[in-house]
Amino acid sequence: MTSREISLARQQTGEPLFLRSPVRPWFAVKDLMWLAYLYPLRWLARVCSDRFWFGLQRLADPLYRWIHREPIRAAARRMAAGVPASPEAAAALAKLYIRNALQRGFDDLAFGCGRPDAGSHPPLITGLEHLERAAQLGRGVVTFSVHSFATRSAHRALRSMGYPVVVVRARTIPVSFGRFGQWALGGAYTRCLQNLAVESISNDDPNVTLEIARRLRAGWLVHIAPDSRVSATSHLVPFLGTERRISSGILDIARICRCPLLPLSAAYDGPRLRIGLLPPLELHPAPGAEAHTRANLPLLSAELERQIRANPAQWEMWVDL
């Protein structure tokens, strides 16, 4: 059965198009963390001095690592197998991974409160000429990356340089929320993310692909991360030594809208932000949607794997934080 047939069948049977969340506990420690993040920390970020703010970030680092000691171990195991890396190197990468997660959290708070974040500092950008050339084709540009901690800052940086950026993203509550958190904090979480992202299109909006096409025609840069698993067009592919669901919708959009697909990678490098743009994927022409997906999905997944292996500590999906 093809992905389109599965998608049609799901619509006909009324089965939700998106993966169900696992059963949530009534209350999770993460609920408390999110409560602190969404309210007192946000208020603090608005009023405290820069010195206090950076001090707080340094203080939070060991606490955040202690809270996430089990995810660090799990991430290290997966990194050792997937990158691959020695156990020692994987353990160091996993610590950096958690630090990047924290930096993203503080960056988002800073941005939401008008403080400078990584995206507002001059980023180190390579390959901007590829974006310029792709934009000159006049069909809009789809950029894609894995889910990386620094991607939001990269979008904000590109927007501040004058590029009209819109992101396709899920608006689901993370599985790390307990039922209390989902009920009491879900709305604030969604609003917070909407304020933090550059403009976004929800991937569960029934008009999502038509809206993407509309933006592309108007010359927008549309960013999609195909490694989300939460997609109606996902395929199981070999990935980092195991298997993972990758969405092929991005390939359909490129085929139908004839727009270039540009790999974009974003990484924190200490306080700096690095953004890398590569030439568009050279997609193989193929007759029909299914043949096109079959021919080009390996190209897409290979680029996603390359991005993760180049910067393993930046990929946020090693474990669910």
Partner 1 sequence: MAASTQTTSRILRVLNDGLGANVTDEDLRGVSRLDDILPLDSIAVLEFAIALESEFGIQFAGEQMKREFFNDFASLTKFLDAPPNPPQ
Residues binding partner 1 (CB under 8 A): 4, 7-8, 11-12, 206-214, 217-218, 232-233, 249, 252-253, 256-257, 288-289
C-beta of 208 vs 278, nearer to partner 1:
208
Using the minimum distance from each CB to partner 1, give the nearer residue, 135 or 232.
Answer: 232
Closest CA to 159 of 112, 209, 220, 250: 220
Least separation in angstroms between CB 217 and partner 1 = 8
Give the shortest CB-227-to-partner 1 separation in angstroms: 18
Q: Spell out the alpha helix ranges (H) of the chain.
A: 3-13, 29-38, 40-47, 50-67, 69-82, 87-112, 128-136, 151-160, 179-196, 208-217, 249-257, 289-310
Q: What gap in Å lies between CA 137 and CA 157, rounded to an integer?
A: 23
Q: Which is nearer to partner 1, 22 or 288 (CB)?
A: 288
Residue closer to partner 1 (CB basis): 63 or 291: 291
Q: Which is nearer to partner 1, 121 or 217 (CB)?
A: 217
CB 11 → partner 1: shortest distance, Å? 5
Shortest CB 301 distance to partner 1, Å? 18
Query: Which of residues 252 and 316 has its CB atom nearest to partner 1 in the complex?
Result: 252
Q: How far is the CB of 10 from partner 1 (least distance, A)?
A: 9
Q: Give the CA radius of gyration of the chain.
A: 20
Q: Which of 251, 220, 216, 224 is nearest to 237 (CA)?
A: 251
| Closest C-alpha to 142, from 255, 9, 8 | 255
Residue 46 or 217 with smaller CB distance to partner 1: 217
Count Cα atoms within 13 angstroms, Cβ side, for 35.
12
Minimal distance, residue 233 CB to partner 1, in Å: 6
Could you tell me which residues are beta bridge partners of residue 201? 168
Exposed e or buried b per residue across 94-114, where buried means at least 16 C-beta atoms within 10 angstroms of its C-beta: bbebbbbbbbbbbbbbbbbbe
- 75 vs 168, beta carbon nearer partner 1: 168
- Between 124 and 218, name the residue whose CB sits nearer to partner 1: 218
Q: How far is the CB of 187 from partner 1 (least distance, A)?
A: 26
State phi, psi for 243 to the nearest 5 degrees.
-125, 150
Residue 257 beta carbon to partner 1: minimum distance, rounded to whole angstroms = 7
Diameter of the chain measured on Cα atoms: 60
Token pair 């395929």 in the structure block, residue: 235
| Residue listed under structure tokens 């290979």 | 302
CA 224, CA 261: separation in Å to the nearest integer?
A: 10
| Alpha-carbon dihedral angle through residues 202, 207, 213, 214, given to the nearest 10 degrees | -100
Shortest Cβ 294–partner 1 spacing (Å): 15
